[in-house]
């Protein structure tokens, strides 16, 4: 399997090259030259696999420069009941017939980012060990990516982590998870701005090829293809779990064509578009997904795009601080991958939109025909507000007996609006409610429980460096701490 850039660079690279690289040299994102396409027999063969073995089957379609036995061992070492609390890894939490949560937040940091980041830590250590090299990871987080990356990389040989986060914009629990780590290879940088400023700095450093190569800079943000690829797995797992729960999973002799398999829909709380983009990849591979529902909070750039075909990122001053803070994002860095597929993989057109038009006008608009084509990819969207969030938290607790986090509440609110008769709907859980206790208490009148080992985490000593929202201070910090 070879990979090319979304912005037209047709130089083909292999998986382990782009694993350590992040952005393509032309500023684009990597995608496979073509998605592997499944058939009904393959889907039937996968339906009874463990999560780890399913992950191996999917990843091996995209990774051919790691020996199969090594890749299988890495995956099995990652997806264990000891790490994720259950043999199913991403079990369903049924709400009512045809509606369930897919639990993605049972990992070390209580957020779905662990699903990919735990594997990424294994892949980085393996490949760096093969090469005898080191890597300095530069990332940006709105809350959960940072802690997931740091917990996955702490103590890993040959890896240092420099994580940018928006100063004062994360929940106290999220800050404590990151800033309380004392490992020498972990560096937290609190940027005086919003998440988009952090993300812009990471991209600017990554686009300085001389600096990037001199200091061996890599990335764990969802611009890294390996991280998105790991997330594809739980769409397949969720599909099988949903059909089994509904008594609709074909047993014995399976349907002869993919068109004969039942469909499932997914609603995905989305800010940076990485989580739902993995669903797009799964659907492009042939997984029978009816709808991919993008749920936003008040920062509704993506909802506006899927309704109108206009992509209009908001400036820092217009990016709202909300009670689902991990989605307080206006520039969805993974969104370019979907647009590349939407536009027939026209790299020149993508570059004209994401580089030229955005830099010149701060927005771009698709043609009427291009906007109409969105529906062919299964996408639809919806929006949630703070009032909606509180109402959905109460509804979920009172009607279903479940306590969910604020981002998952955004997803459930939109899922209830977008359900289709006869099609199971899964809402991807993004985090456990303990991470956003203040809003849960506002909605339900009590503090959500947290794992015993995380009690009092906010009182631990903090290790963090505050920096202005500028590229050069971050470069200076990197240069003196690698």
223 band by pLDDT with thresholds 50, 70 and 90: confident
pLDDT at 221: 75
Residue 280 has pLDDT above 90, yes or no: yes
Q: Rounded CA gap, 105 and 188, in Å?
A: 23
Looking at the chain, the whole-number percentage of residues with pLDDT higher than 90 is: 85
**Domains of the chain: which residue ranges?**
92-109+224-444
Render pLDDT for 130-189 as a digit per residue (tens, 0 to 9). 999 999 999 998 877 888 989 899 888 889 999 999 999 988 988 999 999 999 999 999
220 band by pLDDT with thresholds 50, 70 and 90: confident
Looking at the chain, the whole-number percentage of residues with pLDDT higher than 70 is: 100
Angle between helices 386-400 and 437-444 (to 10 degrees): 70
pLDDT at 475: 97
pTM of the model: 0.92
- From the number of C-beta atoms within 10 Å of its C-beta (0-12, 13-18, 19+), residue 412 rates as buried
Instruction: Please report the beta strands in 62-192, taking only residues with DSSP state E, as ranges in sequence order.
Output: 92-96, 99-102, 135-140, 159-166, 186-192
Q: Which two tokens stand for residue 88?
A: 């199913």
- The closest alpha carbon to 383, from 439, 299, 312, 457, belongs to 299
Instruction: Give the side-chain half-sphere CA count within 13 A for 196.
Output: 18
- From the number of C-beta atoms within 10 Å of its C-beta (0-12, 13-18, 19+), residue 260 rates as exposed
Render pLDDT for 312-351 as a digit per residue (tens, 0 to 9). 999 988 999 999 999 999 999 899 999 999 999 999 999 9
Render pLDDT for 415-435 as a digit per residue (tens, 0 to 9). 999 999 999 999 999 999 999
pLDDT at 206: 87
Q: Which two tokens stand for residue 123?
A: 């892949």
Render pLDDT for 338-393 as a digit per residue (tens, 0 to 9). 999 999 999 999 999 999 999 899 999 999 999 999 999 999 999 999 999 999 99
pLDDT at 454: 83
Residue 286 has pLDDT above 80, yes or no: yes
Catalytic machinery residues: 113
| Assigned fold of 92-109+224-444 | Rossmann fold (3.40.50)
Beta 217-218 vs 135-140: how paired, if at all? parallel
Render pLDDT for 33-73 as a digit per residue (tens, 0 to 9). 999 999 999 999 999 999 999 999 999 999 999 999 999 99
Render pLDDT for 83-110 as a digit per residue (tens, 0 to 9). 999 999 999 999 999 999 999 999 999 9
Considering only 23-27, 102-106, 452-456, which range has the smallest mean pLDDT?
Answer: 452-456
When pLDDT is averaged across residues 255-276 and rounded to a whole number, the result is 95
pLDDT at 126: 94
Residue 465 has pLDDT above 90, yes or no: yes
Beta 364-365 vs 310-311: how paired, if at all? antiparallel
When pLDDT is averaged across residues 19-27 and rounded to a whole number, the result is 87
- What distance lies between CA 103 and its chain's CA centroid? 14
pLDDT at 455: 84
pLDDT at 156: 84
């Amino acid at each position: 399997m070879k990979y090319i850039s979304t912005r037209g660079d047709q130089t083909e690279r292999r998986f382990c090259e782009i694993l350590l690289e992040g952005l393509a040299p032309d500023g684009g994102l990597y995608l496979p030259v073509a998605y592997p396409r499944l058939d009904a027999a393959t889907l039937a063969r996968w339906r009874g696999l463990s999560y780890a073995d399913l992950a191996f089957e999917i990843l091996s379609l995209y990774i051919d420069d790691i020996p199969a036995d090594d890749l299988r061992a890495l995956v099995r070492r990652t997806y264990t009941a000891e790490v994720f609390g259950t043999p199913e890894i991403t079990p369903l939490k049924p709400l009512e017939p045809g509606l369930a949560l897919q639990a993605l937040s049972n990992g070390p940091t209580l957020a779905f980012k662990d699903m990919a980041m735990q594997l990424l830590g294994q892949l980085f250590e393996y490949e760096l060990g093969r090469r005898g090299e080191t890597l300095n990871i530069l990332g940006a987080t709105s809350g959960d990516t940072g802690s997931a990356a740091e917990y996955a990389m702490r103590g890993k040989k040959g890896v240092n982590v420099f994580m940018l986060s928006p100063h004062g914009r994360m929940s106290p629990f999220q800050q404590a998870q990151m800033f309380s780590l004392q490992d020498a290879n972990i560096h937290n940088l609190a940027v005086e701005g919003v998440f988009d400023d952090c993300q812009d700095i990471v991209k600017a450093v990554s686009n300085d090829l001389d600096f990037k190569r001199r200091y061996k800079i890599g990335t764990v943000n969802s611009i890294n293809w390996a991280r998105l690829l790991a997330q594809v797995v739980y769409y397949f797992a969720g599909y099988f779990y949903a059909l089994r729960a509904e008594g609709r999973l074909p047993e014995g002799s399976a349907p002869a064509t993919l068109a004969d398999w039942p469909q499932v829909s997914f609603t995905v709380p989305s800010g940076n578009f990485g989580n739902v983009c993995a669903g797009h990849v799964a659907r492009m591979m042939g997984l029978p997904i009816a709808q991919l529902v993008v749920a936003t909070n008040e920062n509704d750039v993506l909802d506006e795009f899927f309704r109108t075909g206009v992509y209009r990122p908001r400036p820092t001053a217009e990016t709202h601080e909300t009670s689902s803070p991990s989605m307080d994002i206006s520039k969805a860095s993974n969104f370019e991958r979907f647009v590349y597929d939407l536009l027939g993989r026209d790299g020149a057109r993508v570059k004209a939109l994401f580089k030229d038009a955005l830099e010149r006008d701060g927005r771009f608009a698709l043609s009427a025909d291009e906007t109409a084509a969105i529906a062919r990819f299964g996408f639809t969207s919806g929006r949630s507000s703070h009032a909606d969030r509180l109402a959905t938290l109460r509804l979920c607790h009172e009607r279903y007996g479940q306590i969910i986090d604020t981002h998952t509440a955004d997803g459930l609110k939109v899922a209830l609006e977008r359900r289709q008769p006869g099609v199971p709907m899964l809402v991807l859980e993004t985090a456990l409610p303990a991470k956003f206790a203040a809003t849960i208490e506002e909605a339900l009148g009590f503090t959500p429980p947290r794992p015993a080992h995380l009690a009092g985490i906010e009182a631990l000593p903090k290790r963090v460096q505050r920096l202005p929202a500028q590229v050069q201070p971050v470069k200076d910090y990197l240069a003196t701490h690698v």
